[in-house]
Amino acid sequence: MTTLPLAPASADNGRLECGYFERGECRSCALIETEYRQQITDEEIWCHEVLAAVAPSVWLPSFTGAVRDFRNRAKLAVGGRAGQVTLGILDQEFHGVDLRECGIQAPTIRAVIPVLAEFLDATGLAPYDVSARRGELKFVHVTAAPSGDLMIRFVVRTQHGLDVLRSRRARFLELVPHARVVSVNLLPEHKAVLEGSREELLHGGSLRMNLDRVDLHLRPQSFFQTNTTVAIGLYEQVAEWVDAVAAESLWDLYCGVGGFALHCAQPGGRSGDDQDHRVRRVTGVEVSEQAIESAKISAEELGVEAQFLAADATEFAEAALTAGAAGAERPDCVIVNPPRRGIGARLSAALEGSGVEHIVYSSCNPVSLAKDLARMPGYEVTQARIFDMFPHTKHLEVAVLLTRR
């Protein structure tokens, strides 16, 4: 088995040195040459400007993590040729650029990439040629839990690719014994997406993401934040806010696998022996049925009585908040964690007219957040905090606490 050095990059004085960037082979970390403290300062200035119209009363200190080894998920494009694949990205001419030593990936991901390449070489399957629209191997997605366990997903073009990988399942598990989930995704179409709708599980069921207080369960198409340390900080901050407003009932909309809901399910749950043993009524809503099933497993393990529903967040809220809706109970607090497009006009209007006292909005796009907040003038932004989920890029997560005026 070929072995390579794990890290060609080094963090020095808050800066991550990267040979790939210096050679012009990969520019994904566009801000890598900027000292990390300056990256944060620039993010704060920009985010404050974007949200100036809603003027948060208090900006808490930005939450930051490591400048390297922080990324728990790799989306590796397969390039090269049959028997000599590259795993990383495709350049502008769609040639493979091998990034097996990328310094931002978790060490367990860096360590497994050469093994993945060796395994794929042995299959004889050809990487997908974007220009010619032929070939088989498209992507390999790798997710790493804090324990070192892995979820590996192969994305191929046809049933033939799936059949070949399925036939080599036992060999793969010998090579990667800490793979808790292995699956193959079919993406027959020629389009710029990372996965298709059909997924076949070859091994395991879910990857246990063992966080500080809550274990979450990720299935192949589940969403989880890419930076585990910062994700934990975000969950804890939201739980602190929910405790501070003394919410007895809570909705978590766009709940995914239940990260926010489960961290908030036990009031005072961060304080160990001083834990408040009141019961908080928690309802999580997410369109993905797989994610909801994962959230239910975690709730059962924690022994909390959280309710999780597979439904559209906007439709659920509109129906439940409609005046006089049968059996509807207005929660004390609503958490929203939408995709980049934000919650949109319909859900903003439903919340604005709801009478809900507090909203916690976690956003990966301050621009869409600002638009949604402008649609809810009945709320004051009392606290805000930036979470640097994506070091060396302009992307960030920002969470805000809203209180009805």
Residue 361 and residue 333: Cα distance in Å, rounded? 11
Tell me which H or E stretch contains 153.
strand 150-156
To the nearest 10°, report the CA torsion of 23, 24, 30, 32. Answer: 0
Positions marked active-site: 364
Residue type, position 212, single letter? D
Q: Name the token pair of 258.
A: 């239940």
Residue 40 and residue 327: Cα distance in Å, rounded? 46
In this structure, how many other beta carbons lie within 10 angstroms of the beta carbon of residue 191? 7
Residue 241 and residue 64: Cα distance in Å, rounded? 19
pLDDT at 3: 28
Describe the crossing of helices 313-321 and 344-352 by its angle, rounded to 10 degrees.
30
> What's the burial of 393, exposed, middle or buried (CB within 10 Å: 0-12/13-18/19+)?
middle
pLDDT at 305: 85
pLDDT at 276: 53
Cβ-based neighbours of 155, under 8 Å, separated by 6 or more: 137, 138, 139, 140, 141, 184, 185, 186, 187, 194, 195, 196
Helix ranges (H only) for 132-223 are: 159-167, 169-175
Task: Tell me the pLDDT tens digit for each residue of 48-73.
Answer: 999 999 999 999 999 999 999 999 99
Residue 272 has pLDDT above 50, yes or no: no
Q: Name the token pair of 283.
A: 């309802």
Cα distances (angstroms) measured from residue 276 to each of 232, 269, 280: 20, 7, 10
pLDDT at 87: 98
Given a contact cutoff of 8 angstroms between Cβ atoms, the answer to whether 36 and 192 are in contact is no
Cβ-based neighbours of 236, under 8 Å, separated by 6 or more: 212, 263, 270
Residue 324 has pLDDT above 60, yes or no: no
Query: Which of left, alpha, beta for 224 (phi over 0: left; psi -120 to 50: alpha)?
Result: beta
pLDDT at 350: 96
Average pLDDT over residues 392-404: 97
pLDDT top residue among 7 and 162: 162
Task: Using alpha carbons only, give the angle 220, 158, 132 rounded to the nearest 5 degrees.
Answer: 115
Task: Tell me the pLDDT tens digit for each residue of 75-85.
Answer: 999 999 999 99
Q: What is the average pLDDT score of the chain?
A: 92
Q: Burial letters for 65-93: b for 16+ Cβ neighbours within 10 Å, e otherwise?
A: bebbbbbbbbbbbbbbeeeebbbbbbeee
Residue 266 has pLDDT above 50, yes or no: yes
Q: Name the token pair of 81.
A: 């040729």
Residue 341 has pLDDT above 60, yes or no: yes
Q: Which residue has the tokens 């520019």?
A: 27
- Show the domains of the chain with their CATH numbers: 42-66+227-404 (3.40.50.150), 73-205 (2.40.50.1070)
Average pLDDT over residues 173-180: 98
Task: Tell me the pLDDT tens digit for each residue of 206-238.
Answer: 999 999 899 999 999 889 999 999 999 999 999
- The helix/strand/coil state of 12 is strand
Residue type, position 124, single letter? G
pLDDT at 327: 52
Q: Which of 353, 348, 349, 377 has its CA nearest to residue 363?
A: 348
Q: Are strands 96-98 and 137-144 parallel, antiparallel or unpaired?
A: unpaired
Residue 126 and residue 129: Cα distance in Å, rounded? 8
Residue 269 confidence class, pLDDT cut points 50, 70, 90: low
Q: Name the token pair of 1.
A: 């088995």
Task: Tell me the pLDDT tens digit for each residue of 3-58.
Answer: 222 233 344 456 789 999 999 999 999 999 999 999 999 999 999 999 999 999 99
Average pLDDT over residues 363-374: 98
